[in-house]
Amino acid sequence: MELHPPLDDRTTWSPIGACPVEKAMAVIGTRNSMLIMREAFYGTTRFDDFAQRVGMAPATTSANLKALADAGLLARQPYRDPGGRSREEYLLTESGRDLMPAMFALFRWGQKHAGGPESVDIAHIGCGESVDVTVSCRSHHEVGLDEVELWSRRPD
């Protein structure tokens, strides 16, 4: 990655407090939050299922679901099973669905570098092929790390 003025002089600027990665991690950066989001992508919607599938205590599950809903990644929706009391389920919002590329990238990275099982795959329903995560420009050219520039503002 190539940094451009004034970003190339790292002694004169700091991304602390203004970096998009930092801002994103403030919303979804905990392990528990990411595991809950994983489950939401897998179709989990109910509190007890989140707690069981992520292996969290109910209080931890509750705090994380609340934080993700407050951040706008999950939406609470009331439901009632026949004969039961009214409860809430948690559904992905548009903002939550926008995390899909990041979640899939973490999935692939975990398989490749952290010993995640190869027996599980993400595939395209339309053709059955595995889904890959790539970085591309808005003109749809695939881009490598050595082909990226960081500017303080987009050049004219």
149 in Cβ contact with 4 (< 8 Å): yes
Element (H, E) at 2: strand 2-3
42 in Cβ contact with 92 (< 8 Å): no
pLDDT number for residue 135: 94
pLDDT number for residue 134: 93
pLDDT number for residue 154: 56
Please state the pTM of the whole predicted model.
Answer: 0.83
pLDDT digits (tens, 9 = 90+) for 3-49: 777 676 767 767 777 788 888 988 887 899 999 999 999 999 999 99
Residues 46-75 as b/e (b if ≥16 CB within 10 A, e otherwise) read ebebbbeebebeeeebeebbebbbeeebbb
Domains of the chain, by residue range, sit at 2-150
CATH classification code of 2-150: 1.10.10.10
pLDDT digits (tens, 9 = 90+) for 45-101: 999 999 999 999 999 999 999 999 999 999 999 998 888 889 999 999 999 999 999
pLDDT level of residue 133 (50, 70, 90 thresholds):
very high
- Please report where in the chains the tokens 């004969």 appear, as a residue: 83
4 in Cβ contact with 150 (< 8 Å): yes
DSSP string, 50-79: HHHHHT--HHHHHHHHHHHHHTTSEEEEEE
Q: Is 141 left (phi over 0), alpha (psi -120 to 50) or beta?
A: beta
